[in-house]
Structure 1
Amino acid sequence: MAPSAHGEALSHLGVAGYRSLQQLMLPIGQLTLVSGANGCGKSNLYRALGLVAAAARGDLVATLAAEGGLAAVLWAGPERGSQGSRLRLGFAGKTLSYAIELGFRADDETSAFLLDPEIKREWIWAGGAFHPRSLLVQRSGAVVERCGDRRSPLALEVTPHESLFTAVSDPLEAPEVFQLRRTILSWRFYDSFRTDRLAPARLSHLSTRTPSLAADGGDLAAAVQTIFEIGDGEGLQAAIGDAFPGCHLAVDTSQPSFRLQLHQPGLLRPLDAAELSDGTLRYLLLAAALFSPRLPPLLVLNEPENSLHPDLLPPLARLIDAVAQQTQVWVIAHAEALITALQGTSGCRTLQLEREQGATLLPGQSALDRAAWRWP
């Protein structure tokens, strides 16, 4: 396995006011397994982390709009309290941490966009647990400023839908912002690769060097060839042999659009991606993602077991465990076989979520842990 890209390892994810996540602080390990019954809020955690990534990209408000707007995603359960109209997201890292708070726009009789969410506040601080003296950069309303001894404005008149990551772009003036944005943008999310007849991975695409498999898997052949050339090609072949005994991968590079081929015992010719079963194609997509020559600082897999035969789950767990030795991996799973296999690996932190009165809970976490938030 290649070493992961430089980036900030996470220690906690904090969410308040988002869907079933009334107020939750989750510890994150090198390999974190999130499980629980259907409807307990596993997917909401995946979406919440995706919203943090959207803030770094600069399209958080648009991403919330695609979910139905702020009103559709706010916690709507009992004990809503004074913070019921606010959404707060953030994470703690070893050296840098970040949090953001969103709410509804202030009353403006001249605007028809009163339900648009706006970014109220943002914070970047040093270390994990927040302390006022550790604050490096903060945004309040339209102003982003540096804190501490060098207190000074970094950006003025920031629009309500614009995060500090897009408002402040000078790496010399604000290296913390630049470094954290770069790290967040390098996180990689894989959620239910398509394997139907028209799935991107089954279609022909012009191939270029691909150190990281795309989220839709459309560049699968190019990603595999890149692994063969600059990554751990032998390891990938061994992983394929572990899942499919006697099989190995090849890539036909004779045309600008590469063709992925799976050689199987007893067949006179290899099978192209268009001919593979859904489960086989999905496993190849996961293997290509996990054997990336450019591993991200955080790799998130949402229910990777979907459409896989139970016999493929132990090899998948071994593959995930190997990658977790190189970078931080977060897996959201519901298949008992995969959960059991991952729990048997060294260093796996398991978070078994439950739901009570509509709220997602982590059993054993005290009310003080949830309320403290460890954020501003």
Structure 2
Amino acid sequence: MRIERLRVQGYRSLADVTWEPGALNLLIGPNGSGKSNLLRSLQLLSDAANGHLAEGIRRAGGMVPLLWDGQTSTLAWEIDLASPSGSGHRLTYKLVLERLGASGAYQIELEQLDIASADGELAKTTMKRRGESSRMIGEPALVIQGREIEPAHIRQAETLLAQAPLTNQPASLLTARQYLTDWCIYHDVRVDMESEMRRAQVSRLEKRVEPDGRNLIPVLHTLYTTDRNFKIEIDEAMRAAFGPDFDELLFPPAEDGRVQLRVRWRSLRREQSAADLSDGMLRFLFLITVLASPEPPGLIAIDEPELGLHPSMLPIVAEFAADAADRSQVILTTHSPQFLDRFSNRAECTTVVLWEAGQTVLKRLSAERLRAWLKHYRLGQLWLSGELEDAA
């Protein structure tokens, strides 16, 4: 599955935006235009599917700071999901949250899951909830341990999508939940000296880096030592970034069943520990591990991947991102013209994020005008010149 169309209303600067992302997506625009807000709105939707909606809103400080300019009392998402090939049924999931009075609390005003045919014709609604009323339509009843859920048994602050058991449910519901909960959205990833990435970790089988990056070492240990192709990709990327002196990654045991990360250099007698790596090197390892994953999530979103990286590393990250888009839907925000230049041959994947009349506006680039400009300029040059805003 992948996002075919997304509409967000009332979330921070996203008063009312509709976006049709592709497999690979670059979000560009000035500071404060709303790029990070778009990623955070996706994170909150994933939290809702995970059963962590209340926690996500609490972390944000309640409903008040989430609502656009105090002019609305509702947050709403409508997302169309389809297979990358465009065949088969399409799913549309709608979720509307209503602020309760003047407080920071909320209620779920509407939740609905529809199935449509490949041509967009509505086939049926499999789940609908309005306020405290909920039902499954034309499918087995929503049950927990063999009993139909009554309103009193539903956690009103969480979605039905999250609370449905794994058995005796419509395939559409389980597909939507699995896809939305599978997303990995990376922002505010720490690589400083206090980062968990630098510390020995309990040795365990893990194949996916968490949104805060804290389990990078277990994931690297798992994939690097068990997947030959992954090891080759990481080794080649490290040599491309740091030269032929790089030899390999090592994972010696530490106390209490923990494992360390070390880097072996051909010119040094002693391996370099994760605690001694530069911030840029650690961030580079994090990025290529996420993007080279042999079992990626359905959606990978990374906020400003260029942060802390030497310009020579940006083409490598861009190549990994383009390859990852063949296996997953990839969203990257960036402020770097050098990074953007690496996608000049895929300029149609760029979305310009602008701030107009107090709200975020998303504009896809005009492919026809871009083709003419890219005969003479690189994509990053066009952005610096301001021409990309005119092309959108």
Query: Shared fold by TM > 0.5?
Result: yes
Is 1:234 the counterpart of 2:224 in the alignment? Answer: no
Tell whether the 8 Å contact from 1:145 to 1:151 is kept in structure 2 after alignment: no
Provide the rounded CA distance (Å) in 2 between the counterparts of 1:129 and 1:100: 23
Shift of 1:61: 2.4
Contact 1:122–1:139 (8 Å) recurs in 2: yes
Write the distance in 1 (CA, Å) between the matches of 2:283 and 2:166: 41
Question: What displacement does 1:142 show?
Answer: 1.5
Q: 2:8 aligns with which of 8, 12, 15?
A: 15
Are the counterparts in 2 of residues 211 and 292 from structure 1 also a CA contact under 8 Å? yes
Residue 129 of structure 1: CA displacement?
A: 8.8
Alpha-carbon separation, structure 1, partners of 2:361 and 2:213: 33
- AA in 1 matched with 2:150: L
Question: Which moved further from structure 2: 154-163 or 126-135?
Answer: 126-135
Aligned to 1:331: 332
CA deviations on 1:263-306 (whole Å, 9 max, x unpaired) are 33533322111111111111011112222232111111111111
Alignment of 1:105-144 (within 5 A): 105=100, 114-127=103-116, 133-144=123-134
Pick aligned residue for 2:22 from 18, 29, 32:
29
What secondary structure does 1:329 align onto? Answer: strand
Q: Which runs of 5+ in 2 are unaligned?
A: 83-89, 143-147, 366-392
Q: Aligned equivalents of 2:163 and 2:284: distance in 1?
A: 40
1:40 aligns with 2:33: yes
Which AA in structure 1 matches 2:63? L
**Matched residue of 1:76: which SS?**
helix
Matches of 1:239 and 1:258 in 2, distance apart? Answer: 23
The answer on 1:68 being equivalent to 2:64 is no
Tell me, yes or no, if the aligned pair for 1:31 and 1:347 is still in contact at 8 Å: no
| Consecutive unaligned residues in structure 1, runs of 5 or more | 1-7, 108-112, 366-376
Distance 1:129 1:104 in 2: 36
1:343-358 equivalence runs, <5 A: 343-346=343-346, 349-358=349-358
Amino acid at match of 2:352: Q
Residue number in structure 1 paired with 2:91: 96
- SS for the counterpart of 2:189 is coil
Partner Cα separation in structure 2 for residue 150 and residue 191 of structure 1: 39
The amino acid across from 2:248 in the alignment is L
Residue in structure 2 matched with residue 49 of structure 1 by the alignment = 42
Aligned equivalents of 2:345, 2:219: Cα separation in 1: 27
Q: Could you tell me how far apart the structure 1 residues matched to 2:59 and 2:280 are?
A: 30
Matching residue of 2:306: 305
Q: What is the aligned-residue identity percentage?
A: 26
Q: How far has the Cα of 1:166 moved from its partner?
A: 3.0
Alpha-carbon contact 2:4-2:20 (below 8 Å) kept:
yes
The 10-residue stretch of structure 1 (17-26 or 132-141) with the greater mean CA deviation from structure 2: 132-141
The 2-side partners of 1:193 and 1:65 are apart by 20
C-alpha deviations, 1:177-216, integer Å up to 9, x for none? 2221122111112223211111101112211122112333
Higher relative contact order (CA 8 A, sep 6+): 1
Structure 2 match to 1:250: 249
Structure 1 pair 170–334 and aligned structure 2 pair: CA distance change class (3 A): same
1:25-79 Cα deviation digits (max 9, x unpaired): 11111111111110100010011000111101112122112212112211127xx
Matched residue, 2:318: 317
- Structure 1 residues 220, 313: CA separation in 2 closer, same or farther (over 3 Å shift)? same
TM-superposition CA deviations, 1:101-121 (whole Å, max 9, x none): 00123x6xxxxx943111111
TM-score between both structures, scaled by the size of structure 1: 0.84
Say if 1:10 and 1:93, in contact at 8 Å, map to a contact too: yes
**Residue 260 of structure 2: aligned partner:** 259
Say which structure is richer in helix: 2
1:114-149 deviation per Cα after TM superposition (whole angstroms, max 9, x unaligned): 4311111111112489766542211111122223x5
Secondary structure of the structure 2 residue equivalent to 1:218 = coil
Instruction: Flag the 1:165–1:129 CA change in 2: closer, same or farther, 3 A.
Output: farther
